[in-house]
Amino acid sequence: MSESDMIRGFFKEILKPIIAEAIAEATTQTNGNTTKRYYTREEACEHLKIGTTTFYRLAKKGKIEILKIGGKTLVDADALDEAIENQEVMRYGR
């Protein structure tokens, strides 16, 4: 067996799986965070256990940032979850 055959064998058996795993892991990490999640107004109200009047009052005060597209009112799910964690917006018990 020549030296170049030994190097090829080493690469094929040892390095190739390690490189493939690293590429797969990096791809998963970058692709996993590219999709934004949004709540509709109804979903956000249900999540917070509040009515639409309170929802729009919080939006007017700047506590909830809304995005209007056509006739739909959307809320960035990550921003809403963060506002809840930071206690800028409280969940009400019904």
Instruction: Check residue 93 and give its pLDDT.
Output: 53
Please compute the mean of the pLDDT values over residues 43-60 and round it to a whole number: 91
Please compute the mean of the pLDDT values over residues 59-67 and round it to a whole number: 89
The residue extents of the domains of the chain are: 1-35, 38-85
Instruction: Check residue 94 and give its pLDDT.
Output: 47
Helix (H), strand (E), coil (C) string for the chain: CCHHHHHHHHHHHHHHHHHHHHHHHHHHHHHHCCCCCEEEHHHHHHHHCCCHHHHHHHHHHCCCCEEEECCEEEEEHHHHHHHHHCCCCCCCCC
Class of 38-85 per CATH? mainly alpha
**pLDDT at residue 34 tops 60:** no
